[in-house]
């Protein structure tokens, strides 16, 4: 066994999991196919109870220090609606403007501090499992290799190949305006 836990994907979910595992004394291996963090603008911040959860985890202060606007933000986009919180003396909902790319950077820093190893440019191309271990086939910058662990967690996004390869269904319906969903099988995004 090479490691205890392999996390596939270094998005917010995989990195947060790496931090949680680190707090529990586990040093996961995080495999991320992208060599560089994406600069596509995605989520613009955090809001609601997650902020208190982050405080419990010792993460809120560094997020607040990195936020890109006044915190708590006086307004917050929620779906298509912009909530105006300025009329409330003690707003129950707090919002923190923090672009997803920056959030991922901070989570990765924290995961690193807690002992996780994040390998960028390493794509998981296959998974095998027996009674004791799971083995990931990986294509890294220096070529293909294998790594085994007691657990492998798919944090590889909405079109998770780990989920597909594990035979886990993704039931549900999509809004008709979401085009190309469900997708036809494709190994790349």
Ligand X SMILES: Cc1cc2nc3c(=O)[nH]c(=O)nc-3n(C[C@H](O)[C@H](O)[C@H](O)COP(=O)(O)OP(=O)(O)OC[C@H]3O[C@@H](n4cnc5c(N)ncnc54)[C@H](O)[C@@H]3O)c2cc1C
Comparing CB distances to ligand X, the nearer of 50 and 87 is: 50
Neighbours of 88 (CB within 10 A): 10
Q: Comparing C-alpha atoms, which of 131, 130, 125, 133 is closest to residue 152?
A: 133
What minimum distance in Å lies between the beta carbon of 12 and ligand X?
4
Residue with the two structure tokens 């990765």: 108
What minimum distance in Å lies between the beta carbon of 28 and ligand X?
13
Comparing CB distances to ligand X, the nearer of 9 and 28 is: 9
Name the site residues for ligand X (rule: CB under 6 A): 8-14, 31-34, 40, 42-44, 100, 123-124, 155-157, 161
What minimum distance in Å lies between the beta carbon of 103 and ligand X?
9
Closest-by-Cβ residue to ligand X is 11
Comparing CB distances to ligand X, the nearer of 14 and 60 is: 14
Burial group, residue 27, by CB count within 10 angstroms (0-12, 13-18, 19+): middle
CB burial readout 57-86, b (16+ within 10 A) else e: eebbeebeeebeeebbbeebeeeeeebebe
Contact 64, 96 (CB under 8 A): yes
What minimum distance in Å lies between the beta carbon of 60 and ligand X?
18
* Distance from C-alpha of 22 to C-alpha of 114, rounded to nearest angstrom: 5
Comparing CB distances to ligand X, the nearer of 62 and 159 is: 159
Comparing CB distances to ligand X, the nearer of 44 and 60 is: 44
Comparing CB distances to ligand X, the nearer of 87 and 152 is: 152
Neighbours of 98 (CB within 10 A): 21
What minimum distance in Å lies between the beta carbon of 42 and ligand X?
4
Q: Comparing C-alpha atoms, which of 161, 126, 140, 143 is closest to residue 34?
A: 140
What minimum distance in Å lies between the beta carbon of 89 and ligand X?
27
């Amino acid at each position: 066994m090479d490691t205890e836990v392999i996390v596939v994907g270094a998005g917010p979910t995989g990195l947060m999991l790496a931090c949680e595992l680190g707090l529990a004394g586990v040093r996961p291996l995080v495999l991320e196919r992208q060599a560089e963090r994406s600069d596509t603008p995605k989520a613009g911040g955090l809001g609601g109870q997650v902020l208190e959860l982050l405080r419990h985890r010792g993460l809120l202060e560094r997020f607040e220090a990195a936020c890109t606007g006044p915190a708590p933000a006086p307004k917050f986009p929620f779906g298509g609606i912009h909530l105006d919180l300025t009329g409330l003396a003690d707003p129950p909902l707090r919002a923190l403007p923090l672009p997803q790319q920056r959030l991922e950077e901070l989570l990765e820093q924290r995961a690193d501090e807690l002992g996780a190893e994040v390998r960028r440019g390493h794509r998981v191309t296959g998974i095998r499992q027996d009674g004791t271990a799971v083995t990931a086939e990986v294509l890294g910058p220096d070529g293909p290799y294998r790594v085994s662990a007691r657990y492998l967690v798919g944090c590889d996004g909405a079109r998770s190949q780990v989920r597909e390869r594990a035979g886990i269904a993704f039931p549900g319906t999509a809004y008709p305006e979401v085009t190309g969903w469900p997708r036809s099988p494709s190994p790349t995004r």
